Amino acid sequence: MISVWREASPSLPAGGELRYDLGRVSVMPVRRSDGSMKVLLASPRGFCAGVNMAIESLDLAIRSFGPPVYVYHEIVHNKFVVETFRGKGAVFVDSLEDVPEGSNLLFSAHGVSPEIRRVAARRRLNAIDATCPLVTKVHLEAIRYAREKYTIILIGHEGHDEVIGTMGEAPEAIVLVEHPDDVDRLEFPPGTKLAYLTQTTLSVDDANRIIRRLAERFPGIASPPKDDICYATQNRQEAVSILSSEADVVLVLGSQNSSNSQRLKELAVERGVRAYLIDSAADIGSDWFRGDETVVVTAGASAPEQVVQECLNFLRDRFGAQIEMRSIREEDVHFPLPRELRSLSLPVVP
């Protein structure tokens, strides 16, 4: 089973740079005299509201319509989740040409371009839109800026499903940048109206570096009224940023193709802490630990709590680890099911 995981979120910050609340005393890792391992279990961690909604949607669609239910791209970027749903009858495709006409199709949490929606309609597919509302927000901002004749600088990772979908809203108006150096190469005619948007799962620090460079080169650049990086991405990064000061090692549960999970690992490494991104406890190397370390355990926004608990059980059994919960923020966000599923009365099985 895949369990939903809900914690909470402060309201999204408005405008300006994204910021962590780091008003705390930095603590260096301390070796314990008893030689035991200590695990700091980060909270919040794991599933965000958008992932919960997408997973509930696919589960309900399979139980309501029966298999197969086709999914455009992976429902979320997590190996465990994808394989679990494959076993239930989901079929993940990268081209709608692989979906028989008239079939049930679910759009993943990362969103899709208008062209994909047109193809789905042309093939008479019963489309269910499980796009995360925070991704939809970025799409709507891109549409608005393009309509107002802005050139949009999208900060994101080339080839990521979310970026492909966002750029598809106004391909003639969007320029993608991944690094601060990319900003230095941008050239626009005098009088060009500029605005920037960001992928929702970026590193807050990386995004801020690029945003600062954009503001230096293009002082009049417009920004969205609220930060595009989602609350869950920011909260999980904040937890790693704070707790890594006490850690010898950081374990991030998540898949290699998960952008937000990769950022958590990178954040720990940037702070001088050894960090690993793993799908499950089975990926833990036999030579990673002596047994007396302080280990931070967290999970990306697409990683289920089940794999976290399996990792904790492994560390307890192998090293006698003592688990200490560390809550940095609380989250209480829930997104409604797609309108195509709201009339269905089947209960969602956790």
Q: How far is residue 152's CA from residue 138's CA, in Å, rounded to a whole number?
A: 11
The set of residues, in sequence order, having a beta carbon less than 8 Å from that of 24 and lying 6+ positions away, is 242
Q: How far is residue 195's CA from residue 316's CA, in Å, rounded to a whole number?
A: 50
For the chain, give every domain's residue range.
Answer: 38-48+231-327, 49-131, 134-217
C-beta atoms surrounding 30 within 10 Å: 10
Q: How far is residue 24's CA from residue 27's CA, in Å, rounded to a whole number?
A: 9
69-72 and 104-107 as β-strands: parallel, antiparallel, unpaired?
parallel
Q: Which residues pair with 38 in a beta bridge?
A: 294, 322
pLDDT of the chain, 350 residues: tens digit per residue: 454 433 333 332 333 333 333 333 333 444 454 669 999 999 999 999 999 999 999 999 999 999 999 999 999 999 999 999 999 999 999 999 999 999 999 999 999 999 999 999 999 999 999 999 999 999 999 999 999 999 999 999 999 999 999 999 999 999 999 999 999 999 999 999 999 999 999 888 899 999 999 999 999 999 988 888 899 999 999 999 999 999 999 999 999 999 999 999 999 999 999 999 999 999 999 899 999 999 999 999 999 999 999 999 999 999 999 999 999 999 999 999 999 999 885 555 55
Question: Helix axis angle, 49-65 relative to 79-88, nearest 10°?
Answer: 10
Instruction: Tell the CATH topology of 134-217.
Output: Cobalt-precorrin-4 Transmethylase; domain 1 (3.40.1010)
* Full-model pTM: 0.85
Structure token pair of residue 49:
């509201």
pLDDT at 25: 30
User: Which CATH number fits the domain 49-131, given the four candidates 3.20.20.70, 3.40.309.10, 2.30.30.790, 3.40.50.11270?
Assistant: 3.40.50.11270
Domains 49-131 and 134-217 belong to one CATH topology: no
* Architecture of the domain spanning 38-48+231-327: 3-Layer(aba) Sandwich (3.40)
pLDDT at 226: 80
Q: How far is residue 126's CA from residue 296's CA, in Å, rounded to a whole number?
A: 43
Q: Specify whether the CB–CB gap between 222 and 275 falls below 8 A.
A: no
Beta-strand (E) ranges in the chain?
A: 38-43, 69-72, 90-93, 104-107, 126-129, 151-155, 174-177, 194-198, 249-253, 274-278, 294-299, 322-327
pLDDT at 24: 32
pLDDT at 346: 53
Residues with catalytic annotation? 162
Q: How far is residue 158's CA from residue 156's CA, in Å, rounded to a whole number?
A: 6
Query: Tokens 């991030």 label which residue?
Result: 252
